[in-house]
Amino acid sequence: MSRPICIVGTGYVGMASMLGLADLGWKVHGYDIVPERVDRLRRGIPPYREPKLPELLQHHIEHRNVHFFDSIEEAASGSQVVIIAVGTPSRDDGSADLSAVRAAVEMLAHVQFATWPTIVLRSTVPPGTTDSLSALVAPWGNLIYAPEFLREGSAVHDFLNPDRIVVGSATPAEAVPYVTLLERLQKPVVFTSRSNAELIKCCSNAYLALKISFANEVANLCGAFGATSDDVLRGIGYDQRIGPHFLRPGIGFGGPCFEKDVKSVEFVSAQYGLGEGLFSATLRVNEGQPGRVIRILEEEIGSFAGTTIGVWGLAFKANTDDIRDSLALRIVDELGRRGAKMLVYDPAVHVAPLPVGSRLVTSALEAARADALLVLTEWPQFARIDPTAYASGIARRVVVDGRNVLDADRVVAAGLIYRGIGRSGPSATERRTSLASALTV
């Protein structure tokens, strides 16, 4: 196929798809509705922080493998395959906002295609979406659904190394132009219907979110009981039927995907009369987790009024500067409402909406000059800082590790009080002893 592939939307998924396809030897056109983004991309400036993105972008611009357009006609008219990767955020009622997807399809309807195009919807959408949009495309092209499973922080790598390729189409033949693009990856392909493919994507995310909520429930029990969640979850994860991935407790899942995707499946389930089940429980546990972390801090320092809290991490996960729906931001907001000021450090986040009186600082040690230290993103570099370097700066001696990323023994050896998620502290052990004696009476 010598025609360029067109990608509509140059966000996390759009850029990873562009650079991944360019790596596979295709010429790729990128179109975005935001002209400033297009302008910066043409100059090789990535729209966000993502490992390998700057080098790959530079390389493929220099080799003329990727081109950026602010006109959909110029970007798409010569393409046989057009991939839509625009955002699908949550509405207030939990349903997915599909307005950008619809706008992209409507825009493509006005393009004078040189050939009959295959339009590949890659955004995460609720089941039934692609079928309902297909009538808009049928007069001039085929519409298929092919979800993306990449993770921010390893986006291009994940694009090129998927566990499987899922493609949903009305007939197997309609999937061929898209699957041909990825043939070199030599991965298993699930050919299925469009709705099945949509369900595979949103239910995969719901399952991963469920695992995180499960890990948090187990860790919360460990914390109450005086057990160690690290050992308990490691022991569970060794079971090959379960696996270790995503069995990490913390402040809960945030970011642009899990919460909105589980809400969207929950919303669709409710429409089919399926009541409060696992999807709702997953969200409920997650919603409670930031409050638990705040309570641990409160147990150690009391009222937040007039305190200064050092915060390490704002991004929703390590290796990204993405703060969309970051639970770290929600925790910082709540602490601000309760009278604390925050000194916040994140290696990648340089702009963020913070409560009045709080500010971003430029080093982890500067943030740690506070009454207490709170870790909210699992950046590995936080664990590499010797606790003796910050111990003397923490006036109330308290470290709450909302991601279980620090070495608890080293923190305690530096003279600090350490509390993690389901990592037993003295107070939990005391609670268990008193509960045990109450039970034997």
Ligand X SMILES: NC(=O)c1ccc[n+]([C@@H]2O[C@H](COP(=O)([O-])OP(=O)(O)OC[C@H]3O[C@@H](n4cnc5c(N)ncnc54)[C@H](O)[C@@H]3O)[C@@H](O)[C@H]2O)c1
Catalytic residues: 257
Q: Kindly state the number of chain residues that form the binding site for ligand X, as judged by CB under 6 A.
A: 27
Q: Which of 129, 155, 130 is nearest to 141 (CA)?
A: 130
Q: Which is nearer to ligand X, 156 or 411 (CB)?
A: 156
User: Could you tell me whether strands 81-84 and 165-168 are parallel, antiparallel, or unpaired per DSSP bridges?
Assistant: unpaired
List binders of ligand X among 95-124 (CB under 6 A).
Answer: 100, 103-104, 107, 123-124
301-307-310 Cα angle (round to 5): 90
Q: Which is nearer to ligand X, 261 or 300 (CB)?
A: 261
Among 148, 198, 300, 321, binds ligand X (CB under 6 A): 148
CB of 205 to ligand X, least distance (A): 8
CB of 84 to ligand X, least distance (A): 8
| 420 DSSP 8-state letter | -
Q: Which two tokens stand for residue 101?
A: 């997807």
CB of 119 to ligand X, least distance (A): 13
Q: Which two tokens stand for residue 54?
A: 């700057």
x-or-dash pattern for ligand X, window 23-42, by CB under 6 A?
--------xxxx--x-----
Q: Does 20 bind ligand X (CB under 6 A)?
A: no
Among 88, 229, 319, 326, binds ligand X (CB under 6 A): 88
Among 4, 6, 11, 216, binds ligand X (CB under 6 A): 11
- Whether the CA torsion 292, 297, 303, 305 is positive or negative: it is negative
Residue 38 near residue 113 (C-beta atoms within 8 A): no
Q: Which is nearer to ligand X, 80 or 123 (CB)?
A: 123
Q: How far apart are CA 426 and CA 292, in angstroms?
A: 17
| 96 DSSP 8-state letter | B
Residue 286 near residue 255 (C-beta atoms within 8 A): no
For residue 378, give Cα distances in angstroms to 138, 274, 328, 374: 46, 36, 11, 11
CB of 350 to ligand X, least distance (A): 18
Among 13, 82, 218, 375, binds ligand X (CB under 6 A): 13
Binding site for ligand X (CB under 6 A): 8-14, 31-34, 37, 85-88, 100, 103-104, 107, 123-124, 148, 150, 152, 256-257
